[in-house]
Structures are given as C-alpha cells and as structure tokens.
Structure 1
C-alpha cells in the first residue's frame, strides 16, 4: 500500500493530502493491446481472460484535471464491450485521441484502464482548476467534453469532442486512482457510502436524460412508460424517475424472481414477458414482431387501460420493432443502446401514420447530471446496488454483467477496504432508512460481498 493510500484510509486532514507524494504506479483493471486477437475464432469472449488487475504508471496531470483516489466504482456494460474488443477495440479510440497531441497523447498506451463510474477523494488538482480542492468527496461523470467547442455550450452531448471516460479515454475508474477533468466532478451525496454513490451517475443520469430532460421524452404526470429490462441498472432508475414524475411505470422482466424484485421497487405494473409469449429463439420476422406487439399491448391495456405514452428501450434489435408498434399514437420511443444488436427493424407505417417519434439519447450533459445528483442528495432517488466485489475480483463482476446474471448495479470496492464507509451525513441516512436506500439488497436477495468461488479459466 502506498503512503497516500495509507494516509487517506487513516483519515488524514485534507490540508495534508498535498504534502504526500503521489505513487509512481497504481493498481488498475486494464486491457492489454497484446491481447487484441485472443478471442479470434472463439464464440464466448469471456471477459475474465482479458481483464487484468496490476500496476500501471501514474499519468502526468493536465491543468484542467484532477487526480481522484477511487474508493469505489461499478460495472457498466461498456466495460464488457471494452473487454471483448467489440464492437470495436477501444485501443482504436485511444489511438485517435492520442493523435490530437499535447496532453491527449498520454491516452495512447499499450494498456487501457477501464471503468466509467467512480466515487472518491480528490488528491491533486491542476493549475487551472478553480472549484475543487484536495480532500473533496466527489462522484465522477462519465462524460468528457471539449469546452472550447461551440456545440458543447448548447448541449455537451452534441460536441464532436465528447467522449466517454474509461471507454473512449484512458485512466478509467476501476482502479485505485483516476485522472479526470474538473468538469466531470459532482459532490458526492453525503448520506451514501462509497459503493452506493459509485453505482449511480452513469446509468441514472442516462435514464434522466432519456425520460425527464428536454432532450428526451419529457415525461409528465400520468404518463404511462413501458420500461424494458426494468431490473437492470438503467431500468431500475427509470422506474424511480417515472414514479417521481407522477407517471405509471410498466416494467418488463424475464422471470418471476425479477418480477418480485421489480415490485419491491414500487413499479405499478409488472409484466413477465415469458408469461405472454415474448422472446424465444424463433426468428424475429415482421409478422412475429407485430404479433408480439399485440400481445404486449393487450397486457398493458388490461393493466392500465391505455397504450404507453413512452417506451424506454436500450435492448435494441430484440425489442425495438415491438416498441415502435406498441407505443400510442403520437407517443415516443427513446433509445440509448442496443445490447442485443444494432440493426433495428420496424414497420415504418406504424411510425409515420401514427405520428410517433424516435428519440436517440446518449449519456447526459453536466447540467442533467447535476439535476440527477440533486435528486439523489435529496433522498428522492435510491441506489440500486445489488452486489459488491473487491477490485481483485473485478473480472468476475464484469462476467456477471456480461452474462446478464445480475440485477441493478454491481459495485466494485477500489481503495475502500470494506463496505459501509464514506458516509458523512449519518443523520440523513438514518432518517431515510437503510431499506429505502438499498431496495434490492433489503429484499434479501443479494448479501454483501463474499469471495467468489474459484473457477477454471483458460490459460
């Protein structure tokens, strides 16, 4: 353990942090460029074979950046994409970023430190940083933008220079330290632990932009919102946001176990897709898509009497045609991803003749993230953490997400030696109640971390 880590865990005063030297190297979950072809000809791209946890060099700090000692992080699906080198190797992103020169050249390395969520303590600030100082407790936004690009000042997500940190950049959050821009920082909610706060910002802010923001569906009181994958990280936050807005969430899940979990989140209507014949291995023909849309529509109308105003879709190929069919006349399908495939097929007659809209959405700008983080700080939005792993077991955590064997968010302890640390407002935490803060874990389905049983891995 390096001296700075020891001091932080011992609770050193904020003013003394800068007196302790940064380590030359730090422990990080990373990919290696030498492994790019390791999955050629292999169907199961097991992320446990490509994710390494070892020491990497500490990068030089740019004037607009800070170094954060990462207490906790979480697994997002972009880490699975990175570790499978699909749909494109992320080293391509790093090479392209490096060609910009200057401090950007640091990112083009033979290793890629991944991870797009983090909570922790600032330990260094660059010469151009004004609003943050060592000792501040922060959560990190996944979005890096170019503040010298005009489009960024209308909406940070519209800038050509916008990138997702830890996926399209290096020095990500699944590590003991990370280097991020000051414009990525928000204050950590004081009533949450490190691991709870580290599992919120990416997915919850994405859901916020999709549903609440002027850049998304702009849901309102009484709106019926169909949510695919409603017990996942995106979906579980979507359920809460719809409830907060006075809407009616209709969650779709794949099993009765997940249906019970969804009810514990307060979802008004829960549809088990296996019970109404959705899914399966049959080819997704146009005819079958419409038939499944009719089945789903009947189930929704039986429950709430109307078709949905909005459909929240990140599943992609397997659901998108159904989403376009089932949303009401004049309704909106909002999409932020395609976990089952990017090539979507839908019957355009149901779109144009019924004046429906498709809205593409990606992550969230800093203002949207601030608004989302405010809801968390007010206790209006709860973490959806289900399981926590130590950094040494990050590959197992990523594999769990890769196989869709998780619910909510999977957390990773980095410098934090155990769960439950980082709370600086225990009174508010007690007032809100631990069960409300941890609805998925309070249901008794996911106990705190236990070391994973050893599994055979290919050499």
Structure 2
C-alpha cells in the first residue's frame, strides 16, 4: 500500500492517532492549471471558455513545511467561483499572483511554480505542523478558511483582512484544497463540524465566511433584526448562506432567483418573499452601454409589493455590473449596498444621484478575518446554519464541476471528493445530524 493509501486507511478506520507515525508522501495528486497554457482561451468570450480543458489532475511534489504552517490530508473540497476564474485565466492569470508572492521571501518562493494547485476549501486531517504551531496536531479533523496573511506589518492587526500581504489561499497562493494534500497556515484551521460528512463540511468554508462578514459583521452591513435584505442569487453558493443568515438573525430576506426551481429552494430554507427575475422579465440594460432606469423602478415597485411598502435596508450584492445600478436604486434612504464580487463584470455603473441624495452607503467586503470565519464555522457546528451542498464530483471530474459553476448550472455548492472514497463518511455526531437532516439535505436532488 502506498504512503498516501496508509494515511487514507488510518483516517477511514478512525485511527487518527496513527497519522503522526505515518510517512508523508513525496508526491500527491492535485488539480492544476499550467502556466504555459495561460493563453489557451485567447480570443474567446468568457462563456465559451471551458474549465475541462484547462484543469488537470497532476502528480505534484509535496511542498516543504514552513513555520506556522500545516500539511493536511484532504478528504473533500469544493468549487468556488475563484476556481472558475483561475481555470479561464480571468480577469488575469493567477500565475501573476504566484509570481508576486514568490518575491516576498525565500519561503514564499515555493509558491511560484509553472503549475498552480487550486482550490479554496477543504475538510481533512492534519498530517504535520511546522515550527511554532501549538493549537493543532497530527490527527486533528479540520476545515480550513481561505485567508492567507503574513501580519508582519501593522495594518492587519486590527482586522487581518487589511494586512498588506493578505491573499486568498488556493487562488493567490499555491497548494490549494482541490488535492489529496494541501499546505495551509495554521491560523486557517478550524474544527470540522462533527455532524457533517467530509464533503458537507468542506463546502461552506469560503462562501459561509464571506456571507457572515458581508451581512452580519460590523465590518460589513451589521444586519439587525427586522432589516429587509435584498439578496441576489439567493439560492446560489453565496446567496444561500445570506438567506440563512437573514432568517437566522431575524431579518426579512427578499430573495432574487432565476427559476422556479431556485425559488423553491429559498422556500425550503424558510424564505417567503421571492422574485423570479426571469419570470418578471427584468432587463436592466438597454444595450451594452446604457441601463434602463424604468426597469430599476419596476424592480423597486415589486420589492415594495412584497414587503408591504418597504425598501431594502441592505442589498447583498455580488453579481456586479449586471445588477449594481438596480441595487443602488433599490436600497432605502440611508440604506447599505454591500458588495463582495462581480461575477457578471467588475466595471459597475450606477446613478450617483440615488446614492448621494439619499445618503446611501456602498461597502466593499472581501472574504473574512479569522474571527469572523471561526464564528461562521461555529454556527455550522451548532446546526444553526447548514451546508448547501447539492452535488459531489470526484477529483478527476473537477473540470466538469467547475464548468457547472461557470454556466450557473448548479444549485448551492458543488463538492469534490479527494481522499474520501465515497460520499457519506466522516460523521461523528449522529444525534445532532438527525435533528438537522432536512436542513443539511435542502439542496440535494433539486
């Protein structure tokens, strides 16, 4: 049996104490993009770029373990939109990020390679820890958030997201989670929720923490009970967590979706106010350069019909260019538009009169700091927020999984099995799981 096979067997047999005594293999399989293929989609529209052509499963060397770091045996991972961006080399090739990181120090030079092991989520078991790591040991079952920071300067010590060397692991760094082994900073690690399977536990990380900071945290919209929250893509990987946080926090979500099936998912989560934007036929852009304010007005009227005359206190923004003008218009006087992404384009346009004359605020929000990620994971572990996993692929099928996300042909989150040989493994707290099975499975078979 191979060294990796021995590690896998020990984990599957719940013999986690043996992990420390097993050798770490010199190589492992990881999902990669190749630097010499960065121009392979040149001239194609974004929608025509196929991640199945650019994502490879390669045998790669296990990276050197540095101070404050950990090697993790990855049981499962998940697809985020940043993996789609990496796979289609947009808006820039991620090799530019790796080159920049490689110039920082001799240790970070490890990341500047002609291949990039991608992925910003994982669940798994700690294999080894580097010097200076005291809170984690081999055999610990963990999940990882994706914030990579150096914290050598002062800027990040009030909020680590403001560290001048803040990066997203597996996107702006190498050795990501779509692999059999991953390299992380020890301060990325959090306890794996015991009532979840490996694939369920891997799926919330990035989007759950992002939604928590964006909506709940004082660094984001600081949502309170009774707030009307407009949520774009409310059944998607990010929006589905925003919907749960709104409901769990006593707010009133207005869920924007694109199909009856996605509307039904929101109802299963407990939401009542839902707008099917395709059924309503909203077209916020007349053409490539001009938006249609009449459509903003029609959209605002629909929101008020659902809420009994109230405009949104908070708009949870992430589509970007396509929706941003409508978002700024729709927010109430003194309201907040909080934005964390631009999946439909990052050059936003809006009518500033609706912003300045109505005292609205736009807040930029990017992932989450360790404390926010820990709190978000704690809510998962307590069964108050649930994973939104809809489908799971094998490591070899990662390209197809990324294509599903690229084409919005998915619901919730799409998982990927790494060392876990099948779905359904890794549950420790069966009693808590039984209490929340409906919530855990809300996105399955939709």
Is the deviation greater in 256-265 or in 385-394?
A: 256-265
CA distance in structure 1 between the aligned counterparts of 2:384 and 2:291, rounded to whole angstroms: 42
- Contact 1:82 1:89 survives alignment (8 Å): yes
For residue 307 of structure 1, give the secondary structure of its aligned residue in structure 2.
coil
TM-score (norm 2): 0.96
- Contact 2:6 2:22 survives alignment (8 Å): no
In the other structure, the counterpart of 1:297 is: 300
Deviation at 1:42, TM superposition (A): 2.8
CA distance in structure 2 between the aligned counterparts of 1:7 and 1:351, rounded to whole angstroms: 56
Unaligned runs of 5+ in 1: 446-459
In the other structure, the counterpart of 2:21 is: 19
In the other structure, the counterpart of 2:247 is: 243
Is the deviation greater in 363-372 or in 12-21?
A: 12-21
1:211-257 CA-partner distances (Å, limit 9, x unpaired): 10000111111000000011111100000000011000000011122
Deviation at 1:425, TM superposition (A): 1.0
In the other structure, the counterpart of 1:2 is: 2
Task: From 419, 432, 444, give the equivalent of 1:415.
Answer: 419
Q: Does 1:328 find its partner at 2:332?
A: yes
Q: Does 1:121 find its partner at 2:121?
A: no
Deviation at 1:52, TM superposition (A): 0.2
CA distance in structure 2 between the aligned counterparts of 1:180 and 1:396, rounded to whole angstroms: 26
CA distance in structure 1 between the aligned counterparts of 2:4 and 2:410, rounded to whole angstroms: 34
In the other structure, the counterpart of 1:38 is: 40
In the other structure, the counterpart of 1:140 is: 144
In the other structure, the counterpart of 1:260 is: 264
- Contact 1:225 1:311 survives alignment (8 Å): yes
CA distance in structure 1 between the aligned counterparts of 2:284 and 2:267, rounded to whole angstroms: 24
1:276-335 CA-partner distances (Å, limit 9, x unpaired): 2213874166561x2121111111111111111000010000000000001000000000
CA distance in structure 1 between the aligned counterparts of 2:288 and 2:408, rounded to whole angstroms: 21
1:116-166 CA-partner distances (Å, limit 9, x unpaired): 000000011112111000000000011011132212210011111100000
In the other structure, the counterpart of 1:318 is: 322
CA distance in structure 2 between the aligned counterparts of 1:287 and 1:318, rounded to whole angstroms: 9
- Contact 1:284 1:318 survives alignment (8 Å): no
For residue 427 of structure 1, give the secondary structure of its aligned residue in structure 2.
helix
CA distance in structure 2 between the aligned counterparts of 1:428 and 1:182, rounded to whole angstroms: 28
In the other structure, the counterpart of 2:443 is: 440
- Contact 1:251 1:267 survives alignment (8 Å): yes
CA distance in structure 1 between the aligned counterparts of 2:77 and 2:172, rounded to whole angstroms: 17
For residue 165 of structure 2, give the secondary structure of its aligned residue in structure 1.
coil
Cα distance change, pair 350–54 in 1 and its aligned pair in 2 (3 A): same
Task: From 377, 388, 391, give the equivalent of 2:392.
Answer: 388
- Contact 2:98 2:112 survives alignment (8 Å): yes
Task: From 415, 421, 427, give the equivalent of 2:431.
Answer: 427
1:396-425 CA-partner distances (Å, limit 9, x unpaired): 100100111111000000000011111111
- Contact 1:276 1:295 survives alignment (8 Å): no
- Contact 2:324 2:350 survives alignment (8 Å): yes
For residue 24 of structure 2, give the secondary structure of its aligned residue in structure 1.
coil
Is the deviation greater in 224-233 or in 271-280?
A: 271-280
Q: Does 1:189 find its partner at 2:193?
A: yes
Cα RMSD over matched residues?
1.3
- Contact 2:148 2:188 survives alignment (8 Å): yes
After superposition, residues 32-431 of structure 1 pair within 5 angstroms as: 32-43=34-45, 44-279=48-283, 282-283=286-287, 288=292, 290-305=293-308, 306-430=310-434
- Contact 1:276 1:296 survives alignment (8 Å): no
CA distance in structure 2 between the aligned counterparts of 1:344 and 1:281, rounded to whole angstroms: 12
CA distance in structure 1 between the aligned counterparts of 2:100 and 2:202, rounded to whole angstroms: 28
**Runs of at least 4 residues off by over 6 Å:** none
Deviation at 1:35, TM superposition (A): 0.7
For residue 132 of structure 2, give the secondary structure of its aligned residue in structure 1.
coil
Deviation at 1:14, TM superposition (A): 3.1
- Contact 1:117 1:201 survives alignment (8 Å): yes
